């Protein structure tokens, strides 16, 4: 399996990216970037994307952190796309490659709802969204919930009266209740994968997520 060290420009880019990470933000840490990077390399050939650029796209897609409870939540992809060119140029990427990578990052955010415009964007969306479901995805979701928790606003792992959103009258609020994020986003990701490899992996992770919710139903009853 190819990895970051196999690409000299990615190896040069990596420390520049690490410097930009927000300390203590577990859901978007260096391990998240490396997991997305590994999947981007796996999916690049199927999507017809250059693996060097695909890996670089994964590394820079979260350059600018925007908290999930911020009113600017949907602008993370665009902000990261604006910040990426300087780092990519320093690592040796060409102007045309930088433009393609920045465009992929611009369309990457789930909250923004943009469709990818080229192969790099499809690879990034698939790789990034795979990391949102499954075991690690649930861990990241809980980390986000802790990060957003405020003493002046009731919040928790799930709504105490309606853990699995069985009451259709209650609006989902994933800024307060972590499990609401499963219904607002995570359970919708598998259906939107672009590549065959991502669809197969997403189906497996989606099934795990459903099983986890079934167990939560039993434990919270």
Residues of the chain with pLDDT under 70: 1
* Residue 201 and residue 158 in one domain: yes
In the chain, how many domains are there? 2
| pLDDT per residue as tens digits for the range 150-199 | 888 899 999 999 999 987 778 999 999 999 999 999 999 999 999 999 99
3-state helix, strand, coil in the chain (%, to 5): 60, 0, 35
Among residues 140, 6, 124, the alpha carbon closest in space to that of 62 is found at 124
* Residue 120 and residue 144 in one domain: no
- pTM equals 0.94
* Residue 172 and residue 86 in one domain: no
- Position 167 scores a pLDDT of 75
Domain boundary at 124, 145, 160, which? 124
- Position 150 scores a pLDDT of 86
- Position 21 scores a pLDDT of 95
* Residue 138 and residue 174 in one domain: yes
Distance separating alpha carbons of residues 128 and 105, to the nearest angstrom: 11
Domain boundary at 124, 152, 180, which? 124
- Residue 153 lies in domain: 132-221
- Position 1 scores a pLDDT of 67
* Residue 58 and residue 94 in one domain: yes
- Position 126 scores a pLDDT of 98
Which CATH number is 220's domain given? 1.20.58.1910
Among residues 109, 126, 9, the alpha carbon closest in space to that of 63 is found at 109
- Position 76 scores a pLDDT of 87
Domain boundary at 124, 142, 176, which? 124
- Position 69 scores a pLDDT of 78
Distance separating alpha carbons of residues 83 and 47, to the nearest angstrom: 25
Contacts of 178 (CB under 8 A, 6+ apart): 141, 142, 144, 145, 156, 157, 158
* Residue 42 and residue 4 in one domain: yes
What secondary structure letter does DSSP report for 110?
T
* Residue 183 and residue 92 in one domain: no
User: From residue 173, how far is each of 27, 68, 86, 158 by CA, in Å?
Assistant: 19, 12, 37, 10
Token reading at 35: 């997991």
* Residue 37 and residue 116 in one domain: yes
Distance separating alpha carbons of residues 196 and 220, to the nearest angstrom: 36
């Amino acid at each position: 399996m190819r990895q970051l060290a196999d690409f000299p420009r990615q190896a040069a880019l990596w420390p520049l990216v690490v410097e930009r990470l927000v300390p203590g933000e577990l859901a978007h840490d260096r391990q998240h970037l490396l997991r997305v990077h590994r999947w981007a390399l796996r999916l690049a050939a199927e999507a017809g994307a250059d693996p060097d650029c695909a890996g670089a796209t994964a590394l820079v897609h979260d350059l600018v952190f925007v908290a999930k409870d911020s009113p600017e939540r949907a602008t993370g992809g665009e902000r990261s796309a604006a910040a990426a060119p300087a780092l990519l140029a320093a690592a040796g990427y060409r102007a045309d490659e930088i433009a393609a990578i920045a465009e992929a990052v611009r369309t990457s955010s789930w909250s923004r709802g943009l469709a990818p415009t080229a192969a790099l964007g499809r690879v990034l969306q698939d790789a990034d969204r795979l990391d949102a479901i499954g075991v690690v995805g649930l861990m990241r979701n809980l980390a986000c919930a802790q990060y957003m928790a405020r003493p002046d606003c009731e919040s928790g792992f799930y709504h105490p009266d309606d853990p699995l959103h069985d009451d259709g009258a209650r609006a989902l609020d994933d800024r307060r209740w972590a499990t609401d994020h499963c219904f607002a986003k995570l359970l919708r990701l598998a259906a939107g994968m672009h590549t065959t490899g991502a669809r197969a992996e997403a189906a497996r992770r989606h099934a795990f997520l459903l099983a986890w919710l079934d167990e939560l139903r039993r434990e919270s009853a």
